[in-house]
Structure 1
Amino acid sequence: MLSVIVITKNEAQHIGRCLASVAWADEIIVLDSGSSDETVTICRQFTDKVFITDWPGFGPQKQRALDKALGDWVLSIDADEEVGPALKAEILQAMQQNEVQGFEIPRLSSYCGKQIKHGGWWPDYVLRLFRRDVGRFSSEVVHERIEVVGTIRRLKNPLWHEAFVDPTEVLHKINAYSSLGAEKMFNHGKRSSLGKAIGKGLWTFIRTYFVQAAILDGAEGLMLAISNAEGSYYKYLKLRELCSKTASK
């Protein structure tokens, strides 16, 4: 039995395609943290296991979803991701391998309408399929990970990921994730300065565009490198602000 788990908030633009792509699963569990759009209504067209909760952070929220799963296997998927027919067939076959406890899946992401093959985005292996009894999520508020005890292997067919639809979404996610990233680093005792923020931003652009060859992805590759640099810069700038506030108390 396979359980699919998804967390949502205001994902009406994506969630229908996501859930339709996993409608073949034995169970779909959705945890929504207060959507103000049609997300919950759309989700209920695919499953009766839709739960409304508060927001404790990505790791704890996904663990809540996992705790509700009943399947022997669990597929964790984000609202802006889809499982294609080839990956579906591979997942069903992989679940028959008794000696394996989890599988990493290559993720093929799109940026403003274009699939990105460079810039560190491909192949972006993510651990998403695992046996429920040996897996759990870390407690991080962002960039959480699935921790699995046992043998991990890789699948071949990609998970489709619509990372950014347009520049407006890029800016929204830069702001949201830089705040969460700063909070995470602060909680781990990290410190920052204006110079460090500038340096991290510059190096992120150079690494993405030149070292990881986003230059080969054309205009969208350049846009990706710039937005990655902005995200890094603002993350360290916000960390500096958190440190300053703490020092002034």
Structure 2
Amino acid sequence: MRQTLSVIVITKNEEDRIARCLKSIEKIADEIIVFDSGSTDKTVDIVRQFTDKVFITDWQGFGIQKQRALEKATCNWVLSLDADEEVDEQLASTISALLKSEPKHSAYKLRWRNIFLGKVTRFGRTGRAPTRLFKRETSHFTKDIVHEKVVHQGDAICLKGGYLKHYSVRDFEHLLYKNRDYTCLMATKKFKAGKKSHGIPLALLRSMLTFIQIYIFRLGILDGSRGLLFAVLFAQYQFNKYAGLWALEQSNSSK
């Protein structure tokens, strides 16, 4: 007996990307659930061309928003996507075949293929495989404001056959904006969790080690100029994250 599939997506001002995302899964999804946190563009109108299960809510962070979407799901399995992602045809076929069988595991990781400034990057941090496909009744999201995780039973197995294409940034301006936004969110998250920065010199060392790891050990150098740019920007993100945490420590120590 075929297992049913709910696809959940969270959005805000994604009119240029959401149709691509939803088109990629409309043939394999039994239901599509979208939670929007106040789009001011045509995102919601576009989403309603694919599903009537659209919910407009406030924003309390990625983890809470995805959990809200999960709680509306009714199918056996859930596929969690971001609006800047696309399931390629081979992965869609792989997921469909899996659901027609008896899946042996309760969660699966999907291999990422990163499209960075219009071109596929194959090295650096591209090789990651996030957990996105899981049994509904035995899974939930953490409440993290950013970099939330799926909590599930057993180990998550990497699903071979196809890729989850990730269009990470629209352009260079969006890249810088996203870098800044995630820096602030992560610094705040670490501060609330009681993490320590251990000072600016260590923040700089973390940044340098991050660059070496991505550009050298993970072969980002083979992605040419894009690989170099990505390694530099991610190293900068690491520095800013811990520098931001240090700044929060200083601000609160003087109160």
Fold match (TM-score > 0.5): yes
Q: What letter is aligned with 1:130?
A: F
Which of 178, 182, 189 is residue 184 of structure 1 equivalent to?
189
1:75 & 1:197 partners in 2: Cα distance?
Answer: 36
Q: Which residue of 1 aligns with 2:167?
A: 162
1:77 & 1:60 partners in 2: Cα distance?
Answer: 15
Q: Which residue of 1 aligns with 2:120?
A: 115
Between 77-86 and 184-193, the greater mean CA deviation after superposition: 184-193
**Unaligned segments of structure 1, at least 5 residues:** none
* Runs of 4+ residues deviating >3 angstroms: none
TM-score (norm 1): 0.96
Q: How much does 1:225 deviate?
A: 0.5
- Please tell me whether residue 2 in structure 1 is matched to residue 8 in structure 2: no
Q: What letter is aligned with 1:111?
A: F
1:114 & 1:203 partners in 2: Cα distance?
Answer: 26
1:13 & 1:182 partners in 2: Cα distance?
Answer: 29
Q: Which residue of 2 aligns with 1:203?
A: 209
- Please tell me whether residue 51 in structure 1 is matched to residue 55 in structure 2: yes
Alignment of 1:208-223 (within 5 A): 208-223=214-229
TM-score (norm 2): 0.94
Identity %: 44
String of CA shifts for 1:155-204, please: whole Å, max 9, x gaps. Answer: 11211111123211110110011111111111221122221222222221
**Cα RMSD (Å) of the superposition?**
1.2
Which of 235, 240, 246 is residue 246 of structure 2 equivalent to?
240
Which of 13, 18, 43 is residue 21 of structure 2 equivalent to?
18
Q: How much does 1:150 deviate?
A: 3.2
Assess if the C-alpha contact under 8 Å between 1:99 and 1:151 holds in 2. Answer: no
**Unaligned segments of structure 2, at least 5 residues:** none
Specify the SS of the correspondent of 1:23.
coil
Assess if the C-alpha contact under 8 Å between 1:9 and 1:35 holds in 2. Answer: yes
Q: What letter is aligned with 2:180?
A: N
Q: Which residue of 1 aligns with 2:144?
A: 140
2:32 & 2:115 partners in 1: Cα distance?
Answer: 25
String of CA shifts for 1:7-30, please: whole Å, max 9, x gaps. Answer: 011111211100111112110000
2:41 & 2:123 partners in 1: Cα distance?
Answer: 34
Assess if the C-alpha contact under 8 Å between 1:134 and 1:150 holds in 2. Answer: no
Q: How much does 1:152 deviate?
A: 3.0
Alignment of 1:25-40 (within 5 A): 25-40=29-44
How many pairs are equivalent?
A: 248
Q: Which residue of 2 aligns with 1:82?
A: 86
Between 195-204 and 2-11, the greater mean CA deviation after superposition: 195-204
1:114 & 1:180 partners in 2: Cα distance?
Answer: 27
Q: What letter is aligned with 2:37?
A: S
